Amino acid sequence: MELIELEYWQLALASVLVILLAACSWWVRLGFGRSLVIAAVRTTIQLSLIGLILEALFSVGALGWVALMGVAMVILAGREVMMRQRRRLRGGWAFGIGTSAMFVSAFTIAVMTLLIVIRPDPWYQPQYAIPLLGMMLGNTMNGIALSLDRLTDTVWRQREDIEGRLMLGQRWQEAISDIRREAMRSGMIPTINMMAAAGLVSLPGMMTGQILAGSPPALAVKYQILLMFTIAAGTGFGTMLAVTAGSYRLFDHRQRLRTDRITDPTH
Amino acid sequence: MNQTLSINGLGTGELDAFSLDVAPGRILCLSGPSGSGKSRLLRAVADLDPHDGEASLNGTPAHNLKADEWRRRVMLVPAESRWWHDTVGEHCGEPRESDLTALGFEPDVHQWPVSRLSSGEKQRLALYRALSLDPEALLLDEPTANLDEATRERVEQWLARRIHDQGLPTFWVAHDPGQIARVGDTHYRISGRRLEEVNHGTD
């Protein structure tokens, strides 16, 4: 099966659609025209750049460069997790907890999947390693950001309930147990929903891409299932780690609730 | 289980460090203008806020116990009670009919949904809830503030009786001079950054 080459003028044709939409937004004053154009430009620049980087990486294929790329991706994802929280833990903890949770879950599971399941030769071959890590990080990042945001926000709003429980002599783990469970759930639910709906409502992005690029659907499906499982595991373990570490940080050695360790978004 | 609650050089943001003892079954009434730091003081004794100095119960300083163990023994009942489960009973220990009757409740109050409680019922049940967990000392922040006069008297008598019978050393924040005279064994007032004892003479 041969690939149909996509030319720049064909992309320009597709961009006309976006420009039309922006014009409409301007026409009826919907107010998103400007951000739509900026986002479209960003997507073009960012993806072109990553394309160049991947081309270079694929041609070199050295372990050091692949590892560097992986670490850079984890750090960027950690920054994104921090930015998406309305109330964050102060003093670098929001970034630290998000990044280490992703490193431990997404990074480890990606490496294990490469070494044990896919087994390309060499195992760090960037054509497999980078997309796998990218998909896992993207989803794990969402889960961790959602769950940490839920955790700090709910703790802030229910701080008097938590203290009420501490006053009755409950341990901090008990006083925050409901909130912790809810935070973990909210991080996991998008992934569970995605797995449950896969193939029924929408074809997953990676599988679609593979099929468009000429891969037989049966193989694309197998890769997609593998990816779903690793994503679920990465998101689940990452969320559990992040919420556990985050709740731990919300109390001090005398089991006092320390809301002063959370930022106040109104200031 | 007769224990003395001692405060040794305890200081908060609003108050200079002070020391005093509350003997078993004795009630120390605490008054002062709003915002003077009464609630902060109780929170510091319960070790809910960072503070200087320390409280100890019968010679055991707070830091020798796990924080949850300390708070289970030295129990703070705040002015506004919080309820997080659906029914009253899920918050309390085993039902105690004599206490419920004394507070004007039927024994089935354990099955009541929390959402239907009035502010006065919440306040009475918060006191009942705290005592149902068998504390060894009490920190009460305006325990009768939301109650009408008849109920206030009833709750006040029940509390005073339980405190004396069980020998619980108690901090009781109050505004009403009448109540302070009725229940207080000693009376301290917050004046500026200091805690000073008030002598009521012979009344």
A253 and A180, same structural domain? yes
Reply yes or no on whether the pLDDT at B181 is more than 60: yes
B143: in domain: yes
B158: in domain: yes
Number of structural domains (chain A) is 2
Residue B54 tokens read as 């320390």
Reply yes or no on whether the pLDDT at A103 is more than 70: yes
Which amino acid type is present at position A23?
A
Query: Is B59 near chain A, with CB under 8 Å?
Result: no
B202: in domain: no
B174: in domain: yes
Residues of chain A contacting B88 with CB distance shorter than 8 Å? none
A73 and A3, same structural domain? no
Over the stretch B39-51, which tens digit does the pLDDT of each residue have? Answer: 999 999 999 999 9
Q: Are B133 and B72 in contact (CB under 8 A)?
A: yes
Q: What is the mean pLDDT of residues A221-248?
A: 94
Q: What band does B203 get if pLDDT is binned at 50, 70 and 90?
A: very low
Considering only alpha carbons, which residue of chain B is nearest residue A179?
A: B84
Q: What angle do CA B123, B129, B135 make, to 5 degrees?
A: 120
Number of structural domains (chain B) is 1
Over the stretch B13-36, which tens digit does the pLDDT of each residue have? Answer: 889 999 999 999 999 999 999 888
A75 and A54, same structural domain? no
- Residue A2 has a pLDDT of 65
Reply yes or no on whether the pLDDT at A202 is more than 80: no
Q: What band does B202 get if pLDDT is binned at 50, 70 and 90?
A: very low
Q: Which CATH number is B57's domain given?
A: 3.40.50.300
A182 and A68, same structural domain? yes
**Most B CBs within 10 Å, among A167, A174, A256, A257, to test the B interface:** A167
A188 and A66, same structural domain? yes
A195: in domain: yes
Out of B71, B84, B129, closest to residue A161 by CB: B84
Q: Indicate yes or no: CB of A255 within 8 angstroms of CB of B68.
A: yes
A267: in domain: no
- Low-confidence winner among A149-163, A203-217, B74-88, B126-140 (lowest mean pLDDT): A203-217
B137: in domain: yes
Over the stretch A186-200, which tens digit does the pLDDT of each residue have? Answer: 999 999 999 998 888
Q: What is the mean pLDDT of chain A?
A: 92
A223 and A94, same structural domain? yes
Q: What band does B93 get if pLDDT is binned at 50, 70 and 90?
A: confident
Distances (CA, A) of A261 to A40, A97, A264: 37, 14, 10
Q: Are A180 and A247 in contact (CB under 8 A)?
A: yes
A96 and A183, same structural domain? yes
Instruction: Determine the structural domain holding residue B83 and report its residue range.
Output: 5-197
Helix, strand, or coil (residue A183) = helix
Over the stretch B54-86, which tens digit does the pLDDT of each residue have? Answer: 999 999 999 999 999 999 999 999 999 999 999
**Most A CBs within 10 Å, among B82, B85, B127, to test the A interface:** B82
B94 class by beta-carbon count within 10 Å (0-12 exposed, 13-18 middle, 19+ buried) = exposed
Q: What band does A93 get if pLDDT is binned at 50, 70 and 90?
A: very high
Instruction: Determine the structural domain holding residue A52 and report its residue range.
Output: 1-60
* B166 bridge partner residues: none
Q: Indicate yes or no: CB of B47 within 8 angstroms of CB of A178.
A: no
Share of chain A above pLDDT 70, in %: 99
Considering only alpha carbons, which residue of chain A is nearest residue B78?
A: A164
Share of chain B above pLDDT 70, in %: 97
B164: in domain: yes
- Residue B1 has a pLDDT of 54
Does the model's ipTM exceed the 0.90 cut? yes
Reply yes or no on whether the pLDDT at A61 is more than 60: yes
